[in-house]
């Protein structure tokens, strides 16, 4: 006798090993990008390492954007939240300081080197 329903397995019943094997970023996509940029052969270990780095960056950005959205009192993450998350995190800002987020608004982070002492032209009187 067959018990239960047919079809796909229930995600709540799936084992932990099966969840770790799933990745948002496909290795074939990473391989294509790396091969186009380097014109070299790419090992599978290199693909797994780059995939792990990309997943880490995505998780850091989404976590920061979620926190920014919560502080704004919003339930929806918008591009401006992603932009603020990148600007507020020092490591992410170091990596993505020149990234342009569409509809992300202005960059709010000002580094200490950006300040310059300007001379006042009209202040001196004769």
- In angstroms, the CA 124 to CA 118 distance is 14
Question: How confident is the model at residue 24, as a pLDDT?
Answer: 84
Question: How confident is the model at residue 104, as a pLDDT?
Answer: 83
User: Is the pTM higher than 0.85?
Assistant: no
Domains and CATH numbers, the chain: 28-109 (1.10.20.10)
Closest C-alpha among 45, 52, 47, 24 to residue 35: 47
Residue 40: exposure state from Cβ atoms within 10 A (0-12, 13-18, ≥19): exposed
Question: How confident is the model at residue 8, as a pLDDT?
Answer: 76
φ/ψ (deg, to 5) at 102:
-65, 135
Give the distance between the most distant pair of CA atoms in the chain: 104
Distance, first Cα to last Cα, the chain? 104
- Across the chain, which has 126 residues, the per-10-residue mean pLDDT values are 66 59 86 97 96 95 97 96 94 90 74 54 53
Question: How confident is the model at residue 76, as a pLDDT?
Answer: 96
Question: How confident is the model at residue 117, as a pLDDT?
Answer: 53
Closest C-alpha among 38, 96, 22 to residue 65: 96
């Amino acid at each position: 006798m067959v018990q239960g329903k047919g079809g796909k397995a229930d995600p709540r019943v799936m084992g932990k090993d099966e969840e770790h094997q799933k990745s948002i970023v496909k290795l074939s996509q990473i391989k294509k990008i790396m091969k186009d940029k380097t014109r070299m052969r790419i090992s599978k270990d290199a693909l797994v390492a780059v995939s792990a780095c990309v997943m880490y960056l995505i998780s850091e950005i989404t976590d920061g954007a979620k926190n920014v959205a919560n502080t704004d009192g919003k339930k929806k993450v918008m591009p401006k939240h992603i932009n603020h998350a990148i600007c507020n995190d020092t490591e992410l800002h170091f990596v993505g300081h020149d990234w342009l987020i569409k509809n992300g608004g202005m960059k709010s982070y000002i580094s200490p080197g950006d300040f310059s002492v300007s001379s006042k032209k009209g202040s001196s009187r004769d």
